[in-house]
């Protein structure tokens, strides 16, 4: 009777054969990868891959191992594609992704909104010394264009709120204009209903605000459904507009600081749904900047539309002992059912484990861009 040691010896011999066959298969995958790169062919051919797996399963003598064999063949296919993606990534000059630039000195700063906006507050908190003649913009996109055209070096704008989630338009503009995140700042947000000094609540007919102001204050407006909610550029722009209108029937959602700046009265205090309402602001610029103190990384990428792709990618973060902070998806403009994935995680791009994780994302992605490596902000309590 064969004992355990005999079984193990037989397995060892089979493993040696498998390693030799596996090495030969990877060499063939490299050759195929070079051919596909030279002829600009896609790495993934779903119909062929499925056909190959099905054909190989017909050679299985025992259906008992059909599930395990299918998994084995899928894994072999995935590893072959990784080899081909490494070749494609090398051709795309992967190291250029990490081209670091020095921070600009005496930079011109821009922010979203009118004087008194929460963005201006975030700007003053982040840039410890008050920027000289900061420039304000009344739309998110005009701020991005201002950086692209060299009007300003850095811009400050909101990207996420603790109660309403990501501000999707800002994520879309990061992708569209190819800017980098160089820093972030948290600001606790208290929304107030404000109006002219002579205005009372029972006179209000219209309220102006950035859509985020309305979204953060839905509970308050349930009791005032007769008021028209009119979206405007920003909460601070809304405050200025109400002041300039001189109309006692108009109100705005804005900060206490905006009310003081524009000589308005607070008609209702702290109307936001959550008392701990906080917005995360990002500081964006043209170039990637980083230093050894940076401890947060942001990337955007897209993947092949096939089952299990995202899972296979994300499991590598556990392998590299990297803490994921957030993942957000956004549809790709003009592409049906195609998505961009925005990912934040802890680390520095000079860390070996982070570098390897980024290399893996890069070679596994249809599209990839490193958005930034910066110092994570702490929330003000």
Confidence at residue 381, expressed as pLDDT on a 0 to 100 scale: 47
pLDDT value at 305 more than 80: no
User: Average of pLDDT values for 213-222?
Assistant: 97
Predicted confidence (pLDDT) per residue in 79-125, tens digit: 877 777 666 655 455 566 778 888 888 899 999 999 999 999 999 99
Q: Is 309 a catalytic residue?
A: no
The runs of H, that is alpha helices, within 196-347 are 211-215, 218-221, 235-245, 256-261, 309-319
Q: How far is CA 256 from CA 208, 229, 260, 267, in A?
A: 15, 20, 6, 11
Give CA 28 to chain center in angstroms.
37
State the CB neighbour count (10 A cutoff) for residue 210.
Answer: 25
Predicted confidence (pLDDT) per residue in 309-364, tens digit: 788 778 878 888 999 999 999 998 877 778 899 999 999 999 999 988 888 888 77
Q: Report the alpha-carbon distance of residue 356 to residue 149 in Å, rounded.
A: 34
Confidence at residue 188, expressed as pLDDT on a 0 to 100 scale: 96
* Mean model confidence pLDDT for the chain: 89
Joined together, the tokens standing for residue 248 give 């006692």
**Inter-residue contact 346 to 373 (CB < 8 Å):** no
State the CB neighbour count (10 A cutoff) for residue 135.
Answer: 14
User: Average of pLDDT values for 267-287?
Assistant: 96
**Inter-residue contact 117 to 258 (CB < 8 Å):** yes
Catalytic residue among 112, 281, 301, 317: 281
Predicted confidence (pLDDT) per residue in 158-217, tens digit: 999 999 999 999 999 999 999 999 999 999 999 999 999 999 999 999 999 999 999 999
Q: Report the alpha-carbon distance of residue 258 to residue 251 in Å, rounded.
A: 13
3 state SS of 350: coil
Confidence at residue 92, expressed as pLDDT on a 0 to 100 scale: 52
What is the chain's alpha carbon radius of gyration, rounded to the nearest angstrom?
27
Give me the percent of the chain exceeding a pLDDT of 90.
Answer: 59
Q: What ranges make up the beta strands (E) of 291-347?
A: 296-302, 324-331, 339-346
Q: Is 199 a catalytic residue?
A: no
Confidence at residue 139, expressed as pLDDT on a 0 to 100 scale: 96
pLDDT value at 67 more than 60: yes
**Inter-residue contact 370 to 297 (CB < 8 Å):** yes
Q: Report the alpha-carbon distance of residue 176 to residue 168 in Å, rounded.
A: 12
Q: Report the alpha-carbon distance of residue 162 to residue 214 in Å, rounded.
A: 14
Q: Give the dihedral sign, CA 347/352/353/359.
A: positive
Q: Report the alpha-carbon distance of residue 27 to residue 34 in Å, rounded.
A: 11
Q: Report the alpha-carbon distance of residue 134 to residue 345 in Å, rounded.
A: 31
What pTM value is reported for the model? 0.75
Consecutive H or E run containing 177: helix 168-177
CA nearest neighbour of 28 among 94, 79, 91 = 79
Q: Report the alpha-carbon distance of residue 362 to residue 359 in Å, rounded.
A: 5
Burial profile 216-237: b = 16 or more Cβ within 10 angstroms, e = fewer = bbeebeeeeeebebeebbbbbb
State the CB neighbour count (10 A cutoff) for residue 68.
Answer: 10
Q: Give the dihedral sign, CA 197/198/202/206.
A: negative
Predicted confidence (pLDDT) per residue in 24-36, tens digit: 888 888 888 778 7
**Inter-residue contact 29 to 80 (CB < 8 Å):** yes
**Inter-residue contact 77 to 304 (CB < 8 Å):** no
Q: Report the alpha-carbon distance of residue 212 to residue 161 in Å, rounded.
A: 9
DSSP 132: S
Q: How far is CA 139 from CA 116, 157, 213, 257, 379, in A?
A: 15, 10, 15, 20, 26
Catalytic residue among 232, 279, 301, 345: 279
Q: What ranges make up the beta strands (E) of 26-134?
A: 109-112
Kindly list the structural domains of the chain, giving each domain's residue range(s) and its CATH number in brackets, ordered by start.
Answer: 4-91 (1.20.59.10), 96-188+278-374 (3.30.70.260), 192-268 (3.40.190.10)
Give CA 312 to chain center in angstroms.
19
């Amino acid at each position: 009777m064969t004992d355990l040691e005999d079984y193990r010896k037989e397995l060892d011999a089979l493993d040696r054969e498998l390693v030799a066959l596996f090495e030969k298969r990877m060499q063939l995958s490299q050759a195929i990868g070079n051919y596909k790169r030279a002829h600009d062919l896609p790495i993934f051919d779903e119909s062929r891959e499925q056909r190959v797996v099905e054909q190989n399963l017909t050679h299985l003598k025992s259906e008992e191992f059909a599930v395990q064999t299918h998994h084995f063949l899928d894994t072999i296919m995935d590893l072959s594609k990784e080899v081909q993606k490494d070749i494609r990534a090398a051709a795309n000059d992967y190291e250029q992704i990490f081209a670091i630039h020095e921070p600009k000195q005496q930079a011109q700063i821009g922010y979203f909104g009118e004087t008194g906006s929460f963005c201006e507050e975030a700007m003053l908190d982040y840039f410890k010394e008050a920027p000289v003649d900061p420039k304000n913009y009344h739309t998110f996109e005009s701020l991005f264009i201002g950086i692209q055209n060299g009007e300003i070096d850095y811009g400050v704008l909101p990207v996420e709120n603790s109660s309403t989630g990501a501000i999707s338009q800002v994520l879309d503009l990061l992708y569209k204009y190819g800017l980098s995140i160089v820093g972030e700042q948290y600001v606790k947000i208290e929304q107030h209903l404000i109006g002219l000094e002579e205005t009372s609540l029972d006179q209000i007919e219209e309220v102006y605000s950035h859509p985020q102001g309305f979204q953060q204050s839905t509970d308050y407006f349930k009791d005032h459904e007769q008021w028209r909610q009119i979206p405007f550029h920003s909460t601070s722009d809304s405050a200025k507009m109400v002041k300039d209108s001189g109309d006692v029937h108009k109100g705005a959602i804005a900060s206490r600081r905006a009310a003081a700046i524009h000589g308005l009265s607070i008609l209702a205090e702290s109307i936001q749904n959550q008392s701990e309402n906080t917005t995360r602001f990002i500081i964006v610029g043209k170039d990637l900047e980083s230093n050894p103190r940076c401890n947060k990384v942001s990337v955007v990428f897209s993947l092949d539309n096939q089952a299990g792709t995202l899972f296979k990618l994300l499991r590598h973060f556990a392998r590299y002992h990297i803490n994921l902070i957030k993942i957000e998806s956004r549809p790709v403009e003009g592409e049906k059912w195609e998505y961009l994935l925005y990912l934040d995680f802890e680390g520095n791009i000079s860390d070996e484990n982070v570098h390897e994780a980024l290399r893996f994302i890069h070679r596994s992605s249809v599209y990839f861009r490193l958005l930034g490596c910066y110092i994570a902000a702490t929330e003000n309590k």
